[in-house]
């Protein structure tokens, strides 16, 4: 049984459709990332999983319970962290956690031990008696995660948990999510930063304008996102571009070639879907037809740029 | 302590009642009420010695004491309750409460208890001053009972009304302004409207349908009383006047011509109305919170 099953989920707000006929499953024990630009519908999906929104149509089944009819059964099993930190300024950090621990029905004996252990896990012990309003954004984010963990939920739903954090603080959260996965928690999170998802998630889905673009394991998403490899081949001498275009056209494995002549060199920029071994053969063939190949390199992929290509940002 | 009410009350005690502002407010209210009490005492003592003689000073002071308590409630309860849900929304904590394993009615009830905490504390702090009116002699148990119903009814009504407005508001300030306006209209607007409007209505009725004035149907009288009894000041004034006249405490007799109509006493009606209206307000507040958003939440 998947931890979460999103079934033909549609969410409408008045005339605006935020999410349309979306279906995917989230396996138990996985870290599932929802990737998409701002306004793609990630938060709407997370709120639907978190029982905050009732689907306009379709359903979301969380740990075997429908959000439409059994929201009450889902809530004790769920730790929900919204994108914006929700805190009571006048409370101390331990009081804040104590309030939620009481709401989740923790007994007085276990409550204090749980709060102490959670603060330790999140490295917040030194902030035990600070006011919530005195915390930095990174610390507030950690406190928010601590609140989610108090009642030991099976499923964590985290909306952009690292959005406002610096790289080092992001790393800390990523490590922690890895530890939580290792103890069997299922984690669903969202991010507009692809590299964040690639770093921490095992599975994911790319969402754009409320629709599913891609889903699956992170490796398969990266492969599909990367698509073509970009090659840069340097040739010795100033060669005639049109002649070069004709010669390269004979190689179907090479796509969209662009010839650039600079100084005493001619450079071919092109794309290919060839594997490593196919690439070796291709280079041999280029030399065999008499091209003076001086060097060859692969352009590094810029994940975010490719991601933006896929998700086509809103036109302004 | 009830499983879901406890957390809200503890949070209120930890945050709200710990703040210096609340302690300052509590001290200011007590000082003001004590000063007013002394002034009223001095005034009543002087008047009583020259005119009413045999009536206990406590009896004469008692209505003022109840009035002062009602005034305190009018001043404090709206601010306390109007802030509740709107503040949760401003602080982005409403979502956290909604995903917690408590129902929406429990959430509203929890906020209700938390919002009532400070006004209740104020009323308790005022008890020694209220007690003086009793100790000075003359105030009866019936008067105390009516006063208690008026105060509890007002507290429950003002807090629930504030919570409903709070659930509808996006921010704390508009919620507080709207709640004060509504309660102001309810407690002050109604008597003003009655004072200004009743001679006009009366003269119009006398000219258009004199039979209606001579023999008003009981339903019309009951309807009029239901409207009037929603104001705790009016309900209280009539109740205390009934005690002082020695008439029945539970009924009010309306005489028109030869016909006499028996209606429930306004203080009793106020108690019932405040309970019904409060339950309605809390139910509506819960409904507002579960209403699906019409706009994409940001």
Chain B positions in Cβ-Cβ contact with residue A13 (cut-off 8 Å): 293-296
Residue A308 pLDDT: 67
Residue B176 covered by a domain: yes
Region B110-137 average pLDDT: 84
Pairing type for strands A265-272 and A293-298 reads unpaired
Cross-chain Cβ contact A43/B93 below 8 Å: no
Domain tally for chain B? Answer: 2
From its phi and psi, is residue B256 left (phi > 0), alpha (psi between -120 and 50) or beta? beta
Residue B202 covered by a domain: no
Residue of B nearest to A106 (CA): B3
Higher pLDDT, B296 or B210: B210
The predicted complex's ipTM stands at 0.82
Q: Are residues B151 and B233 in the same domain?
A: no
* Residues recorded for chain B: 298
Classify the C-alpha dihedral A35-A39-A45-A46 as positive or negative.
positive
Q: Are residues B48 and B134 in the same domain?
A: yes
Residue B98 covered by a domain: yes
Residue B53: pLDDT above 60?
no
Distance from CA of A304 to the nearest CA of B (A): 24
Task: Pick B99's closest partner by Cβ from A54, A75, A105.
Answer: A75
Strand partners, A189: A33, A158
Residue A315 pLDDT: 45
Q: Are residues B18 and B44 in the same domain?
A: yes
Strand partners, A230: A271
Residue B100 covered by a domain: yes
Residue B161 covered by a domain: yes
Q: Are residues B179 and B243 in the same domain?
A: no
pLDDT in tens, A46-67: 999 999 999 999 999 999 999 9
What domain range includes position B213? 208-267
Tokens 């810029």 belong to which residue? A302
Q: Are residues B259 and B146 in the same domain?
A: no
Chain A positions in Cβ-Cβ contact with residue B295 (cut-off 8 Å): 13-14, 16
Least confident of A43-52, B29-38, B62-71, B215-224: B215-224
* Per-position pLDDT tens, chain A of length 316: 899 999 999 999 888 899 999 999 999 999 999 988 888 899 999 999 999 999 999 999 999 999 999 999 999 999 999 999 999 988 999 999 999 999 999 988 899 999 999 999 888 999 999 999 999 988 999 999 999 999 999 999 999 998 878 888 888 888 999 999 999 999 999 987 777 888 889 999 988 889 998 888 887 777 676 667 788 999 999 988 888 888 888 888 888 888 999 888 999 988 887 877 888 898 898 899 889 999 988 876 655 666 666 665 544 3
Residue of B nearest to A75 (CA): B101
Best residue in A102, A105, A148, A156 to probe B by mutation, most B CBs within 10 Å? A102
Q: Are residues B220 and B177 in the same domain?
A: no
Q: Are residues B181 and B250 in the same domain?
A: no
Spell out which chain A residues touch chain B, with contact meaning CB-CB distance below 8 angstroms. Answer: 13-14, 16, 18, 43-44, 47, 50-54, 72, 75-76, 78, 80, 82, 84-92, 95, 98-100, 102-105, 147
Q: Are residues B122 and B13 in the same domain?
A: yes
What's the mean pLDDT when you consider all of chain B?
A: 83
CA R_g for chain B? 22
| Of B8, B88, B97, nearest in space to A95 by CA | B8
Residue B61 covered by a domain: yes
Q: Are residues B68 and B111 in the same domain?
A: yes
Tokens 């090479």 belong to which residue? A254
What is the rounded distance in angstroms from the CA atom of residue B236 to the CA atom of residue B265? Answer: 10
CA A203, A176, A155 angle in degrees (round to 5)? 55
What is the rounded distance in angstroms from the CA atom of residue A169 to the CA atom of residue A144? Answer: 14
Distance from CA of B261 to the nearest CA of A (A): 52
Cross-chain Cβ contact A103/B100 below 8 Å: yes
Provide the whole-model pTM.
0.80
pLDDT in tens, B59-108: 777 888 888 888 888 888 998 899 999 999 999 999 999 999 998 999 99
Residue A316 pLDDT: 38
| Of A298, A294, A295, A293, nearest in space to A276 by CA | A298
Residue B117 covered by a domain: yes
Residue B85 covered by a domain: yes
**Distance between start and end Cα atoms, chain A:** 42
Cross-chain Cβ contact B101/A88 below 8 Å: no
Q: What are phi and psi of B2, to 5 degrees?
A: -55, 140
Helix (H, G, I), strand (E, B) or coil at B52: helix
Q: Are residues B145 and B228 in the same domain?
A: no
SS3 letters across B177-242: HHHHHHHHHHHHHHHHHHHHHHHHHHHHHHHHCHHHHHCCCHHHHHHHHHHHCCCHHHHHHHHHHH
Query: DSSP secondary-structure letter at B155?
Result: H
Q: Are residues B65 and B167 in the same domain?
A: yes
Residue of A nearest to B292 (CA): A53
Residue B296 pLDDT: 65
Cross-chain Cβ contact B95/A85 below 8 Å: no
Q: Are residues B14 and B127 in the same domain?
A: yes
């Amino acid at each position: 049984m998947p931890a979460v099953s999103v079934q033909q989920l549609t969410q409408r707000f008045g005339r605006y459709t935020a999410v349309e006929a979306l279906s995917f499953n989230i396996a138990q024990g996985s870290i599932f990332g929802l990737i998409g630009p701002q306004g793609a519908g990630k938060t709407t999906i997370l709120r639907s999983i978190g029982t905050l929104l009732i689907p306009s149509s379709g359903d979301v089944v969380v740990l075997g319970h429908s959000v439409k009819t059994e929201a009450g059964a889902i809530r004790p099993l769920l730790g929900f962290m919204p994108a914006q930190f929700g805190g009571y300024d006048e409370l101390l950090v331990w009081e804040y956690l104590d309030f939620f621990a009481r709401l989740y029905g923790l007994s007085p004996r276990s409550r204090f031990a749980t709060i102490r252990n959670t603060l330790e896990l999140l490295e917040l012990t030194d902030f035990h008696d600070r006011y919530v309003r005195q915390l930095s954004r990174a610390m507030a984010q950690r406190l928010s995660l601590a609140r989610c963990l108090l009642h030991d939920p099976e499923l964590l739903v985290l909306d952009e948990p690292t959005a406002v954090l610096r790289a080092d603080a992001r790393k800390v959260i990523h490590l922690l999510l890895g530890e939580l996965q290792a103890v069997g928690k299922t984690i669903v999170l969202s991010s507009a930063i692809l590299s964040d998802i690639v770093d921490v998630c095992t599975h994911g889905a790319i969402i754009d304008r409320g629709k599913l673009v891609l889903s699956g394991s992170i490796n398969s998403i990266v492969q599909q996102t990367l698509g073509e490899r970009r090659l840069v081949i340097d040739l010795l001498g100033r060669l005639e571009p049109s002649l070069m275009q004709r010669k390269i056209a004979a190689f179907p494995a090479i796509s969209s070639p662009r010839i650039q002549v600079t100084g005493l060199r001619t450079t071919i920029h092109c794309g290919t879907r060839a594997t490593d071994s196919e690439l070796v053969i291709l280079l041999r063939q280029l030399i065999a037809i008499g091209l003076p190949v001086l060097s060859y390199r692969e352009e590094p992929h810029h994940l975010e740029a490719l991601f933006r290509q896929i998700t086509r940002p809103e036109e302004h | 302590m009830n499983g879901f009410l406890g957390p809200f009350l503890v949070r209120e005690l930890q945050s709200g009642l710990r703040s210096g502002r609340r302690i300052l407010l509590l001290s200011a209210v007590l000082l003001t009420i004590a000063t007013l009490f002394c002034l009223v005492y001095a005034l009543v003592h002087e008047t009583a010695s020259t005119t009413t003689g045999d009536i206990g000073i406590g009896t004469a002071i008692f209505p003022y004491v109840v009035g002062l308590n009602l005034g305190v409630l009018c001043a404090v309860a709206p601010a306390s309750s109007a802030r509740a849900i709107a503040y949760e929304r401003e602080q982005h904590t409403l979502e956290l409460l909604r995903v917690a394993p408590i129902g929406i009615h429990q959430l509203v009830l929890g906020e209700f208890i938390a919002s009532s905490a400070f006004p209740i504390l104020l009323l308790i702090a005022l008890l020694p001053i209220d007690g003086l009116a009793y100790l000075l002699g003359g105030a009866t148990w019936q008067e105390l009972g009516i006063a208690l119903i008026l105060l509890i009814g007002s507290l429950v009504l003002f807090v629930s009304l504030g919570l409903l407005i709070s659930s509808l508001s996006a921010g704390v300030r508009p919620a507080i302004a709207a709640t004060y306006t509504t309660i102001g209209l309810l407690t002050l607007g109604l008597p003003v409207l009655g004072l200004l409007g009743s001679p006009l209505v009366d003269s119009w009725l006398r000219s258009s349908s004199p039979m209606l004035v001579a023999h008003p149907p009981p339903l019309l009288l009951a309807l009029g009383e239901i409207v009037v009894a929603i104001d705790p000041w009016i309900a209280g004034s009539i109740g205390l006047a009934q005690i002082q006249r020695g008439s029945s405490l539970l009924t009010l007799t309306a005489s028109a011509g030869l016909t006499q109509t028996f209606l429930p006493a306004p203080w009793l009606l106020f108690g019932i109305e405040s309970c019904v209206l409060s339950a309605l307000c809390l139910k509506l507040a819960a409904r507002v919170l579960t209403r699906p958003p019409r706009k994409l939440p940001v």
